[in-house]
Structure 1
Amino acid sequence: MFSSFSLLKKLDWLIISAIFILTITSILMVYSTTHQNSDWHMAQKQLLFYAIGFLVMIGLSLVDYRIFREHSWILITFYFIAIATLIGLLFFGTTIRGSRSWYNLGFFNFEPIELIKLVMVFILAKYFSSRHIEMYRVRHILISGLYLAIPVTLALKQPDFGSVIILGFIWLGIMIISGIKWRHFATLGIAGIGGGVLAWFFLFKDYQKARLLSFLDPYKDPLGAGYNIIQSKIAIGNGGLWGRGLAQGPQTQLGFLPEAHNDFIFAALSEEWGLIGAIILLSIFAFLFWRILKVCLQSQNNFARLFALGYLLLIFIQVAINISTNLGLLPITGIVLPFISYGG
C-alpha cells in the first residue's frame, strides 16, 4: 500500500487547479444570483460546502483505490447504504419543486441520488473490469442492469428523470468501453425507445409532458411551460460579447431568470460575463475532461480505467445536458451544472 505522502504526490494537480477555478467561479455566481435576497448567506454556505469537499477529497486520496478492487464487500456495503437512503426518501423526504429527492438536515438538504451516482460508477467499474473478456455473455448485461434498475426505480418514484438519464448513460458508456457486442447495444437501444414510449403514456404527468415539449416551441406557452427557456435565452443574449458585469445582469438581478443560482446558472453567467466568459468556462471544462481522459488512458488496470471513464461520463453528461437546456436545445430536466450550481 502506498504511503500517504506518495499518494498525495500522485495527485493530478492540474485537475485540482481546474476544479479550484470552477469553485471560485461558482462562489462568485452564487453570490451574484442570490445576494439581493440572502446577502452573503448562500455564497457563504457554498464556500463551506467546497471546503468540506476539499477535505473529503484529500482524505479519499489517502486511500489506496485497490482496496475497492480487491474487496467487493466494501462497494456492496456502500451500494446498499445508498439504496437505503433512497428508500428512506419515500417516508422522510422533503418535496422541493415537485420531487421528493432531499432530506432536510437543517443547515442543508442532502440528495441521496448524488451518492448513488458515484457508488454506481464504482460498482460498474468493479463488475466489468473483472468480466470484460466475457462481455459477449448477455447475463453480464442483465446482472449489471439489475444493479442499475434498483436506483432507477427509486429515482422514478421521486420523480427524478434527469438522474435516470445520467445513470443510464453511465451504464451504457462503461459497457461500450468494456466491449459489449453491438447487436446487444442495438437491442438495448430499441428497448430504451420502447421504455420511453411507455413512460410517456403511463409515467409522465401532464406538467412533465408540457415541460418536455416546451423546448420545441416555448412561445406557445410563454408564461407557463415555456417561460424558463425563454428567459434563459434572453439572459444569454443580453450578455453580448463581454457581459453586463458581475451582479449587473438585468434578467438575473430583476428576478426574471428562474433558478439563476441552480438550474440556469450558465444563463446567468453568460449574461454577466458574456460570450467570452462562457467560452472560458467551457474551455476549463474541456481541459478538465481532457485531463481525466488522460488519467483513464494511462491507468494500469481495467478497474482504474473504467472508474476514471465513469467519473468523466458523470461530469460530462451533466455539463452537456445543463448547458443544452439553458440554450433551449434540450427539454428542462432539472440537471444542474457540476462545480458551478449551488449545492454541496
Structure 2
Amino acid sequence: MAVSRSNIRFDWLTIGIFIALVAIGWINIYSASLGTNTAELFDFSQAYSRQLLFICLSVLLIIFILAIDAKFYERFSSIIYIVALVSLLLLFPLGNTISGATSWYAFGGFSLQPSEFAKSATALALAKYVSDLQSNMEEFKHQLRAFLIILLPAIFIIPQPDPGSALVYIVLIFPLYREGLHFVYLLLGFFVAALFVATLAFGVIWVAIGALLITLFLYFKNKKKRRQKLFKYSIIAIVAIGFAFSVNYIFENVFEQRHRDRFNIVLGKEVDSKGIGYNTNQSEIAIGNGGWLGKGWTQGTQTKGNFVPEQHTDYIFSTVGEEWGFLGSMIVLILFVALIIRIIILSERQKSQFRRVYGYCVASIIFIHFFVNIGMVIGLLPTVGIPLPFFSYGGSGLWGFTILLFIFIKLDGSNYINS
C-alpha cells in the first residue's frame, strides 16, 4: 500500500522550542557583538549578521532534511558514519588551525568543523547497530562494538586537540542504558571521574586512605560469604588506589597546560582572574550584574565593554544573565529542559528501536552541551570550549544541532505512517 505524505505529522512543540532558542540566541549574539557602536543589520563584518545568514541557511537545511524519506537515515547510517570518520581523519593533513586546534576546513571566508556534523552520524550509526541486534545489550561483544562506534570519533578528535568536543561523544553511552546496558558501567564511570577529581583536590595519600576505608566498610558490612569476597574487595581496593597514584601522571603528561590551569582554578588551587581564569571571572561578574530583571537589551556594561572574551560564542549565556537577569536566564533554562524532556517523551513513543535510540542520543548530546556550557559560564566546571546548542555563534554548531534535531523530527513524523 502506498504511503501518503499527508500522514506525516511533525511535532510543532519541539519545532517551536527550537525557533525560540535560535531567536533568543541571535538577539543575544547581536548584543554581545555590537560593542559600543551601532551598525547595519546586514554588515557581514559583524558576527550577528553572519549568524543571521547561518540561520537562513539552516531553514534550507531543514527543508532538505524533512524532504528526504525517513528510511534513508536508517538505511545509509553506516555510510554516513564512515564519511564522518573520514572527514575527521582528513583534518590532520588538510585542516585549518584556529585557536590552537586543527578542527576546521577552510572554504574561502567560511570554516566548517566536521566534529559538529559527526555527532549526528555517530548517533545514527549507534541507533542502527543497536536496532539490528534485535536483543538487549547484555552480551559483552555487543557492548564492545557499541562502545567502539562511540569512541572512534572521540579518538580522532582528541589529538586535534579538542577535548571538549571529544567529551560530548562519551555521553552517547547513556542511551544504551535504555536498551539494557548494565548500570554497573555508569557507576564505574562516575567512580573513576570522582576518584580523578578527588585525587587532584585532596592528594593521592588522602584518596588512597579513603578508598581503603570505604572498601573495608563495605567488606565488614556484608556479613555473608566474607571469605569468598575477600579477594574481590582486595582487587577493588588495589585498582582504586593504583588509579589514584596514576592520576598525577595523567594530569601532568596527557593534559595540556591550559587544561591543567582550568582544573586548578575550578578546584581552588589557583586564583588567576587575569590569566586563564579571566573569561570565567568576567562571565561571573556579568551574570551578577544582571540581578533579577537585568540591565536591558544592549545595556549590559560588561557586554558593551567587551570584558568577556568570546562572549558571542561559548560565553553567550553571560549576556543573557547580565541583560535579562535571573528571570531571562530561567526562561532560557526552562526552554532547554523542556526541549530535552520533550525529545525523551517522543523517543518513548517510537514504534522502532532505531528511532528510539536515536532520539535518546539527541537528548543526551543536547543535555551534555547545555549542562557543561552553563556550568562553565558560571564557574562550576572548567572551560572546555563547548557551545550552547542553537544559541552560540557559529555556522557549524548551528547546522550540526539543526541536522541532529530535525532528523529526529523527521523520524518521529514518519512514526504515524501506516503502510
Please give the TM-score of this superposition, normalised by the length of structure 1.
Answer: 0.91
Query: Structure 1 residues 286, 188: CA separation in 2 closer, same or farther (over 3 Å shift)?
Result: closer
What count of residue pairs does the alignment treat as equivalent? 338
Partners of 1:317 and 1:191 lie apart in 2 by 18
Residue of structure 2 in register with 1:103 after alignment: 105
Contact 2:154–2:167 (CA under 8 A) maintained in structure 1: no
Q: How does 1:151-230 map to 2 (within 5 A)?
A: 151-170=153-172, 172-186=173-187, 197=247, 199-217=250-268, 220-230=271-281
Residue of structure 2 in register with 1:115 after alignment: 117
**How far has the Cα of 1:99 moved from its partner?**
1.2
Contact 2:136–2:181 (CA under 8 A) maintained in structure 1: no
**How far has the Cα of 1:216 moved from its partner?**
2.5
Matched, 1:45 2:50: yes
Aligned to 2:351, the other structure's residue is in SS state coil
Query: Structure 1 residues 188, 210: CA separation in 2 closer, same or farther (over 3 Å shift)?
Result: closer
Contact 1:235–1:252 (CA under 8 A) maintained in structure 2: yes
Residue of structure 2 in register with 1:17 after alignment: 16
Aligned to 1:133, the other structure's residue is in SS state coil
Alpha-carbon deviations, 1:76-128, whole Å to 9, x = none? 21112111111121122222222111112223220000111111111111111
Query: Structure 1 residues 38, 309: CA separation in 2 closer, same or farther (over 3 Å shift)?
Result: farther
Contact 1:124–1:174 (CA under 8 A) maintained in structure 2: no
**How far has the Cα of 1:326 moved from its partner?**
0.7
Which residue of the other structure, out of 308, 311, 316, is the alignment partner of 1:257?
Answer: 308
Q: How does 1:1-344 map to 2 (within 5 A)?
A: 2-7=3-8, 10-36=9-35, 39=39, 40-41=43-44, 42-69=47-74, 71=75, 74-131=76-133, 133-170=135-172, 172-186=173-187, 197=247, 199-217=250-268, 220-344=271-395
Pair member with larger Rg = 2
Contact 2:264–2:270 (CA under 8 A) maintained in structure 1: no
**How far has the Cα of 1:61 moved from its partner?**
1.8
Contact 2:165–2:386 (CA under 8 A) maintained in structure 1: yes
Contact 1:132–1:179 (CA under 8 A) maintained in structure 2: no
**How far has the Cα of 1:219 moved from its partner?**
6.6
Partners of 1:308 and 1:141 lie apart in 2 by 19
Alpha-carbon deviations, 1:188-213, whole Å to 9, x = none? 66677669946424321122211222
Partners of 1:94 and 1:183 lie apart in 2 by 41
Contact 1:219–1:230 (CA under 8 A) maintained in structure 2: no
Contact 1:229–1:327 (CA under 8 A) maintained in structure 2: yes
Aligned to 1:31, the other structure's residue is in SS state helix
Identity %: 33
Alpha-carbon deviations, 1:119-159, whole Å to 9, x = none? 11111111112326241111111112222232111111111
Partners of 1:79 and 1:262 lie apart in 2 by 27
Q: Does 1 or 2 have the higher relative contact order (CA < 8 Å, sep 6+)? A: 2
Aligned to 1:130, the other structure's residue is in SS state helix
Query: Structure 1 residues 53, 297: CA separation in 2 closer, same or farther (over 3 Å shift)?
Result: same
Query: Structure 1 residues 206, 240: CA separation in 2 closer, same or farther (over 3 Å shift)?
Result: same
142-151 vs 325-334, which deviates more? 142-151
Contact 1:218–1:229 (CA under 8 A) maintained in structure 2: no
Alpha-carbon deviations, 1:285-312, whole Å to 9, x = none? 1221222122111111111111111101
Please give the TM-score of this superposition, normalised by the length of structure 2.
Answer: 0.76
Partners of 2:185 and 2:346 lie apart in 1 by 29
Partners of 1:218 and 1:266 lie apart in 2 by 26
Structure 2: which 5+ runs fail to align? 197-242, 396-419
Aligned to 2:158, the other structure's residue is in SS state helix
135-144 vs 180-189, which deviates more? 180-189
Q: What RMSD over aligned residues (CA atoms) do the two structures have, in Å?
A: 2.2
Aligned to 2:90, the other structure's residue is in SS state helix
